[in-house]
Structures are given as C-alpha cells and as structure tokens.
Amino acid sequence: MTYTFDPPLNDIQRMIRDSARSFVDEKVRPIAAELDATERYPTELYQEMASLGMLGLTVPEAHGGVGAGALAYAVLMEELGRGYASVADQCGLVELVSSLLSEHGTPEQRERYMGPLLRGERRCAYAITEAGAGSDVGGIRCTATRTADGWSLSGEKLWIHNAPVADFAVVLARSNVELGKRGMSIFLVDSDLPGYTAGPREHKMGQRASPLGSLSFEAVPLSGDALLGTEGQGFKMMMSVLDKGRVGIASLAVGILQAALEASIDYARMRRQFDRPIADFQAVQWMLADMAKATHGARLMVHAAADKMDRGERASVEASMAKCAASDAAVEHTANAVQIHGGMGYTRGIEVERLYRDAKITQIYEGTNQIQRMIISRALLS
C-alpha cells in the first residue's frame, strides 16, 4: 500500500483501521469490479462486516454495538471507501439508522429492528427525499394520519438508498401538517405491510452496487409503536445524525482519493513513454503531488470534525467543511487519475474509471455541496 499521511490514532482506532484495511484488501477490492458491473448486493460482505463489529460502530455496547467514537467511524469509512464506495455506503446507512434507534428507540424497537440490523440479518432504508424535497427537507409531503389503531401512512419517496432490498424503512412524514417542521415524525415501516410498494431499481452512474429506488405508501396501516421517539420531533431527530452522516461521506471520499492516488502511483511507475516511466515526467509528478496534498488535507479535516464530535461538541460547520472539501477533491483528482492512466483510464473495468464515477455522488448526497457552503458561510457571517 502506498504511504499515507496518517494523523495520530489511539490503539482502538488503529486496531479498527488495520482490521478494516485487511478486510478491504482481502474481501472487497478483489470483487469491486464485479459488483460495479453486475450491481449485485453483496450480502456475504455485510454479514462478515457485522461479525467483525463494523456495523453500528458507534452504537453503545449495551445496545449491541462496539461503542467506538466518531473518529473510529471515520477511519473505518475511509478504509471501506478505499475498497469500494458502495460497501462504505451501506455501512454509513446502518450507522445512521442504528444511531436513531439507539438514541430514540424503545427496548422493543431496538430488539426488533436494531439487533437484526447490526447482525446483518435485516436490511434498512432511510426514507427522507421526495420529488419536491431534497436539500429542503422541510418540503416533504408524505403524511401520517392518526387512526383508531395507530397511524395511516401515505406518500412517495424518491432516490432512497436500499429501497429495492429493504426489510424495513425509517420514514420521515408529516404527522401534523399545520406545524411545519415541528409537525414531522419518524416511523418504522415494515416492507411486508399492505400498501408498501418498492419501485424499480434505478441504474446509477456510480456506486452501482448500492441499490437505489422509490418507495410508495398507500394508506399503510401502522401500529402505535411504529412511531420512533416523540411525535413532532422527527425533523430534529433526523438533523441530529447529519453531522455524523457528513463525516461518514467525507471519510468515504477520502478513501476514494487514497485509492486513486495508489492506483496512479503504481501506473505511473509501470507505464513507459519515450523510453521512460511516465513517473519521471514533471507534469505527472505534480499531478500526483496535488493528489497527495488533497488527500492529506481532506483527511485532516475529517479527523478534526470527528475529534470535535468525540469531545461532545457540536461540529456542524467542521462536518460541512470536511464533506465539501473531501468530495470536491475526490471528483477533481479521480479525473486526474483517469488522465494519468490515459486511454486505459477511460476503459470500463479499470479501477480509476470506477472511482471517477463513484466520486460524483459524494458532492450530492447528505446535503449537496451548495448546502454545505451555505452552512459554512452562515456561520462565518453570524
């Protein structure tokens, strides 16, 4: 593996990194191209990750997790992102859903949903986005109406991670349309309930083994215990895990950067033109140097945000900075990795071509980078 500029880690964080690195090199990287080509959901990988304690890493041990901090989670996500972004994406999804269940769920909800999720036995979807509600979460129209037995859920969600394969969905809906954001609640919705329909799978540009689709709810009957946490607190609860989510995506992007750097160094040493390795040419050397700078800088920003979270401090601005910087760098420098590889880099099945496609979505999900810039600028001007 190419030399990395690692910030200091404690023994637990280093152990998690080394374990994840070995898992990625032995199990993920060898099949990443196959997963990208076939869009297969690799159940076997997620079950092994569950057995290694990689799912729900920050969930307290009392609730079935490892009880590690945000920095340990960032280290894990970087290594998984270096292997294949779709695998890291699944880890991030489980982390967010299990965090909500751990903090707001009843013992019965944690037993029914979180336990099987962390063991790799059930698959979840995180259902917020709608046709008119992407960056503007307050624009959702999905509604939950009270009934004699609990709730009736109606509406549609778009571009939902895991929608085609989920056993249950965590759904943000309006439980009181008069109260705006203060009238939103979260519901746990099993996929076998009447009126629950998963739409066809979307075929994406990148992260192709991470299934994406729509969800439709037509008067889905929910019992009273389907409500997660307190009624009317759904928006606040969803926002509470965004910092961790953005640190996770930033870490994934750093992993993509690291993979692109490694592949580019190897190719530059091997590829010969004009009777010399192209690594001898200053134009290529400077591209590699810029790629290394960007990777190191993004990693430091991620670690700074995660460390602040581990100290119990709010890190919204730092998480936005890390997510924005890391994802922008991933898009820029995977393009440079393709350039270094020349015509070979533009060929399907070559690692850097996949990395280039996988990088783009990191600028979009968990809040677009335009939203991140708004968060940062408002903090500067407040």
Spatial contact of 95 and 248, defined as CB atoms under 8 Å apart? yes
Handedness of CA 336, 341, 344, 348 (dihedral sign): negative
Handedness of CA 67, 73, 75, 78 (dihedral sign): positive
What dihedral angle (degrees, nearest 10) is formed by the CA atoms of 134, 139, 142, 148? 140
Name the active-site residue from 262, 351, 353, 366.
366
Spatial contact of 252 and 89, defined as CB atoms under 8 Å apart? yes
Residues 6+ apart with CB under 8 A from 47: 120
Spatial contact of 72 and 81, defined as CB atoms under 8 Å apart? no
Q: How far apart are the C-alpha atoms of 163 and 189, rounded to whole Å?
A: 12
DSSP string, 327-362: HHHHHHHHHHHHHHHGGGGGSTTSHHHHHHHHHHGG
- Tell me the chain's radius of gyration from C-alpha atoms: 21
What Å distances lie between residue 228 and 109, 145, 154, 190, 320, CA to CA?
8, 15, 17, 13, 27
The position carrying tokens 């751990």 is 102
Our measurement of the distance from residue 364's CA atom to the centroid of its chain's CA atoms, rounded to an integer in Å, reads 11
* Tokens read off for 342: 């020349």
Q: How far apart are the C-alpha atoms of 308 and 306, rounded to whole Å?
A: 5
Strand 196-198 to 184-190 pairing: unpaired
Active site (annotated) includes residue 366: yes
Spatial contact of 175 and 237, defined as CB atoms under 8 Å apart? no
Q: Which residues are catalytic?
A: 366
